[in-house]
Structure 1
Amino acid sequence: MLVANLSVLIDTVEKDACKNLIYRLYLVLRFLFDEMQGQQVTVNAQNQINANISLGSPVILKMNDTITMSSVGLLELAHREYQAGDYENAERHCMQLWRQDQTNTGVLLLLSSIHFQCRRLDKSAQFSTLAIKQNPLLAEAYSNLGNVYKERGQLQEALENYRHAVRLKPDFIDGYINLAAALVAAGDMEQAVQAYITALQYNPDLYCVRSDLGNLLKALGRLDEAKE
């Protein structure tokens, strides 16, 4: 109830400083709430184990269940902080998780995104590359790496990574959007149109993509198509 009330309060506070303070408090309380939920799950699991023992049933124990739940909660907190623009705390929590498990691709991807937003391009590329080493089929990692190349002006390398990302994950909307933007920067407008159209085939309700496509078609003089 307290978390819900704070969420409502955030929307009603007018001063930015107060809003930021309350939002950070909300994030912390939300994390603590998630931890309590995780502890309850652990208690329920222990009760089930005890019941199985009393019935003479075989018991299979999973190591570090509580640690895993805690890690998931901390990663969710880091994601919320990232979305709120609190990159410092998001990075701090991600690094805490990374020190525990350097193979967690979710953490590696988030670290890549955090460093990109902070314009630490070398670090962003490093964590994207680490994610790819852990999972060579991880489309999001190639897209993040493409963002770094695009920011550096290395459009050919950016395009290669974006194209590889959407080949790995054909319904990867962000991949098509990034690909289209890089194609526009490279002057390949027709291919950019196709990238936007493909994204809309997977999700026709993307207003921002429709808007970008319409503007691009207008720039190409294809006014009838832009109206559709």
Structure 2
Amino acid sequence: MSATPLSALLEQARAAVRSRDYAAAIAHYRQALTVDPESVDALEGLAMMLLATGSYAAAVEQFQRLVLLQPMEARHYINMGAAYNRLGQYQKAVDTLRKGIQRNRKCADAYYNLGIAQRKLNMPSLAISAYKEAIRLDPQLVEAYQNLGNLYTEMGNYQLALANYRKALELRPDFEKARLGLEKAEEAIQRSKASANPFGRLVNTSSVAPKSVPIVTRELSDADREFDRQRVRLLCEELQRLTADCLAQLKNKLEAGILDVQRSAAEGQFKNLGFVGAANEFQDAFRNWLELRQQLKRKALELRAHEELINTPQMPPSP
């Protein structure tokens, strides 16, 4: 009896996928690979089925075979990066996804998966930049808005969290995760308001002393002090995260990018893929570093403004 042709096995696998019989699809793809071990269609179909059914390590193995056969195909790196994310191997995910982005800089899914990995690596500022780029490339990518909302909630920036959760719900009204995130952010805002003086800091114009009267220290209520402590703590935590991200970007990305560009230039490889990839990687790293530096500057100014508000003296009441 003659062996089943490759094309027939591939069609059987695709039919099984359409009927959601993933076990059968995997079996057909594996059989196809016995006919042609280098069939890209069989390898990719098998890898995607393994990824969909939770066999992430096995999926990575197939994607690794694919990038050897098609080293310029971005989607293999991007899908492998997603598999690394599922395995919890986030640094490998970042490295692999950047290779995919080098080959296709217009893939929203690549930046979305990059944001997931960077968030898990405790690099929230870089994750925010990645999610924003994913949204720029695909404004309908509802999960990116939801993940941005989660990040902003973790950072205590509840207004931006609300905006992103609302956008996610605008695109998908039944998105339960976004609805729960929205409720959580709204509750956090209400708690912050409740911890402060509900009447704010009002000025009684009739009690303002003449300018010649000596200045005294501002008196704060317990609620005021607690609100100020929370605000300063959040600002300091954000500054600490941003500083760590800046240093990591300088050490791990910019320095490596400069060395790669210098090495390619020294070898006279200005037109080959290695030099182009090194140059693109350096540009990405430098752009991310500039964004981090700007965010760090804004937070430092915000902390300074808060300090000035707290330290602003008030006039004593008139006798």
TM range (shorter): 0.5 to 0.7
Corresponding residue to 2:111 among 129, 135, 142: 142
For residues 119 and 73 of structure 2, what CA distance do their matches in structure 1 show? 26
**CA contact 1:146–1:158 (8 Å) conserved in 2:** yes
For residues 66 and 136 of structure 2, what CA distance do their matches in structure 1 show? 30
Counterpart for residue 29 of structure 1:
27
Q: What's the secondary structure of 2:190's corresponding residue?
A: coil
Q: In the superposition, relative to structure 1, how do residues 76 and 178 fare at CA in structure 2: closer, same or farther (>3 Å)?
A: farther
Q: What's the secondary structure of 1:221's corresponding residue?
A: helix
Q: What's the secondary structure of 2:174's corresponding residue?
A: coil
The residue type paired with residue 100 of structure 2 is: A
What's the TM-score once normalised by structure 1's chain length? 0.66
Higher Cα Rg, which structure? 2
- Map 1:135-174; keep pairs closer than 5 Å: 135-174=104-143
For residues 149 and 119 of structure 1, what CA distance do their matches in structure 2 show? 12
**CA contact 1:27–1:81 (8 Å) conserved in 2:** no
Q: In the superposition, relative to structure 1, how do residues 202 and 76 fare at CA in structure 2: closer, same or farther (>3 Å)?
A: farther
Corresponding residue to 1:212 among 181, 205, 213: 181
Q: In the superposition, relative to structure 1, how do residues 189 and 117 fare at CA in structure 2: closer, same or farther (>3 Å)?
A: same
What's the TM-score once normalised by structure 2's chain length? 0.48
- Map 1:27-106; keep pairs closer than 5 Å: 27-31=25-29, 70-106=39-75
For residues 164 and 145 of structure 1, what CA distance do their matches in structure 2 show? 10
Aligned length in residues: 176
1:67 CA displacement: 10
Counterpart for residue 167 of structure 2:
198
Aligned-pair identity (%): 23
The residue type paired with residue 124 of structure 1 is: A
For residues 126 and 79 of structure 1, what CA distance do their matches in structure 2 show? 20
The residue type paired with residue 67 of structure 2 is: W
RMSD over aligned Cα atoms: 3.2
1:217 CA displacement: 2.5
Q: In the superposition, relative to structure 1, how do residues 93 and 163 fare at CA in structure 2: closer, same or farther (>3 Å)?
A: same
**CA contact 1:143–1:178 (8 Å) conserved in 2:** no
More helix by share: 1
The residue type paired with residue 192 of structure 1 is: A
Counterpart for residue 84 of structure 2:
115
1:116 CA displacement: 1.8
For residues 177 and 165 of structure 1, what CA distance do their matches in structure 2 show? 12
Indicate whether 1:127 and 2:96 are aligned: yes
For residues 165 and 153 of structure 1, what CA distance do their matches in structure 2 show? 19
Q: In the superposition, relative to structure 1, how do residues 30 and 215 fare at CA in structure 2: closer, same or farther (>3 Å)?
A: farther
1:159 CA displacement: 0.9
Higher RCO (Cα < 8 Å, 6 or more apart): 2
Q: Give the unaligned 5+ runs of structure 2.
A: 1-11, 192-319
1:104 CA displacement: 1.8
